[in-house]
Structure 1
Amino acid sequence: MFRLGHLSDPHLPPPRGALALRDLFNKRALSAVAWRRKHKQHDPAVLAALLADVADQAPDHLAITGDLMNFASDAEAAQAQAWLANLGDPSRITLSPGNHDALVKPGHPQRLAALRPWFGDDTSGDFPHVRRRGAVAIVNLRSAVPTAPHLATGELGDEQRIELETILRDLGREGLFRLILLHHPPTEGAVSRRKRLVDAGRLRDIVREAGAELVLHGHAHEALVGKITGPAGPVPVLGVPSASTAPGHRHASARWHLLEIAANHAITVTARGFDRQGEPLSELGRYRLPPP
């Protein structure tokens, strides 16, 4: 039994000095306006309580599907690095970057480099990265790319998709449980067009031909259960709300998922989070996904 925790979109409060004067003339200015409007829904106390619950449940590994930052500034990258280091050893945590972690082009590769130890075991190359944990192979993708103002789309690109297909086929021949991580949902209609994964159809084609056992994502700030076609049947696709959203806001309250993956590839999902304002974090529900 492999026990995996999944959380997403913590949107850590920006540190003092996160934005410079030059940022008033690029996409970060729009994000700053949005943050002033929405920052109250991301409560550090809620995130702290959720992380304490994760620690109490002690999963074997933790998957985080992006958006640690808000403006993708150097100060935020340093803060995200320190936050991840405080969570535990990088070998026990896998991060798939989100669109807010890759908001603007200038300095983009250097900022993500600070988070590289959490991408995979061998991070000498680019995505995809693979982590083998017993009978489970975590295939980490990067859908986060800098985009034009008012867009939060993602894209994997040709090189990443070509390598992904080879990786999935090789891992399948080994009989491993193939778990795909990415920020943007690969299912149709999960988010609006301006937030979509632009090459989601091509990713679904790869999974249909090469196979996978589970896909985890964030980005939508909602609890989503979907599926995409695999060679042997439906492949479950699960998303979680933001890990810091306080109850009482438009989006779903903060929660995380504990996934228990059995030797026969059956998956038990336990949702843990906040149901109502003023109530403590608790188990919200539990369900089982059969092998695809």
Structure 2
Amino acid sequence: MLKTLAIIKGGVSTKDLNPILTHVKIKDGWITSTNGRLTISAPVALPNDIEVIVPATKFIAAVKACKEPKFKITDGGKLSISKGKFRAFLPIMTDVTFPSPQTSGDIIHAGDFIPTINKLMQFVGDDASRSWANGILFYDGQAYATNNVILASVETEWSGPAICIPNFLINELLRIKKEIVSIRSDGETITFQLEDQVWLNSSTLPTRWPNVLKMYSTVDFNLIKKIPEGFQEAIENILPFCPDPKSPKIILSETGVSTEKGDHEASVDMEGLSTSLWRAEPLLNLLSNTDKIGISIDFSQHPRPCPWIRGDGVRGVIVGLKQ
């Protein structure tokens, strides 16, 4: 049971603005949690006659204390959880309707869905003012992610409608680590059926993205050259010497990599680069995890978006700073 509770806790709200969202619903041998955005449900080893809505964190804590607890509803209308000398009594929420999303839409063929989202998650945004960027967009044979500085995409076998899957749902899929049995969506909601009958449901994000195809229209990814050896290490070595540690910037030139001028500064000699100015954080984000697969970047396009492509097929553009 503890493994099941570890799964459904991802759907429990951490805020108590709406008390029912901090509860779990137990009915017909199933336990369900929802935080208003994400719903998670799974079979649970409880008697079918136990039908309650109880505080999630207290329920989980009581089960952990018992390991193999016994459950019953007391004459006073509370849920009793006991084992040996331990007993806990939880209040049962009544006269409320627990949110129950309906699964609808066609079954979608998604190919290697988990490997696809693993390739793109580092580029997913987290900006409340641009909610459309806080997920992965599946559209016309491609999956897209952006943090508004980097745009990334990779080919996919997605057969469904254009959908932007929110990052909080993707994070739960990666946390739970269960095989996906099926995906169903009507375009506005999406449901993942996982092994062991676990399922997750959420609304999708807006698909009103910028014209990403236009950004690729003048780019020949086959002509991009690999970055010089030791490029990432050079940036990491000079990073502590950036005059503004809160917003470090990296200067590229035909002679190497350097910080801006200041009380402290540093540089590394290197050939094969083009003059351009970059925020260090997104540049290092793009370079991360590429030591084995390799990456090519065309810095010569600066100040226009600069195209890049990784050895695993992920490609995109990155936007620098105006000098």
The structure richer in helix per residue is 1
Larger radius of gyration: 2
- Scaled by the length of structure 2, the TM-score of the pair is 0.19
Larger RCO, structure (CA 8 Å, separation 6 or more):
1
Q: Normalised by the size of structure 1, how large is the TM-score?
A: 0.20
